[in-house]
Structure 1
């Protein structure tokens, strides 16, 4: 989970095991996990899932936006 982004663009994350990780936004790449249909960043080898609002905030802070758009293919999809 993204906790905050400092004025110097250092990003604070809490991972699933409760560890806090600090990374400069410029070193992060936002990806799309197709299986979960969620955005995520890899922080020190651990995948951290984030909301689209958090992903947008990270790109503003300097992270690379590597997200891809997913397209629904099921006939019962609302999309």
Structure 2
């Protein structure tokens, strides 16, 4: 899990060593990477990719939901 939330603070895992950065939920903006069809947050210029469940949890805590829905343009796509 990339994100954990405690008392309206969001803790994002930055690397495999367990380094985290904390940000108040109200200062987080959830975005969509259209090419990858994934949600992410931008922390100091670094994209942290998150699951849709994590994105939903962040928005419930007060993060801005700036996601867009990616639509498939090819038949049979999972998107």
Shorter-chain TM-score: what band? 0.7 to 0.9
Sort the Cα spacing of 1:78 and 1:25 in 2 relative to 1 into closer, same or farther, 3 A: closer
How much is the aligned-residue C-alpha RMSD, in angstroms? Answer: 1.6
Unpaired stretches in structure 1, ≥5 consecutive residues? none
Shift of 1:17: 6.0
Q: How many residues align?
A: 77
For the residue of structure 1 that corresponds to 2:67, the secondary structure is: coil
Output the TM-score relative to the length of structure 1.
Answer: 0.87
Sort the Cα spacing of 1:72 and 1:20 in 2 relative to 1 into closer, same or farther, 3 A: same
Worse-superposed segment, 28-37 or 68-77: 68-77
User: Where does 1:35-54 land on structure 2 (aligned, <5 Å)?
Assistant: 35-54=35-54
Sort the Cα spacing of 1:28 and 1:76 in 2 relative to 1 into closer, same or farther, 3 A: same
Task: Report the equivalent of 2:56.
Answer: 56
Output the TM-score relative to the length of structure 2.
Answer: 0.87
Sort the Cα spacing of 1:37 and 1:16 in 2 relative to 1 into closer, same or farther, 3 A: farther
For the residue of structure 1 that corresponds to 2:21, the secondary structure is: strand
Unpaired stretches in structure 2, ≥5 consecutive residues? none
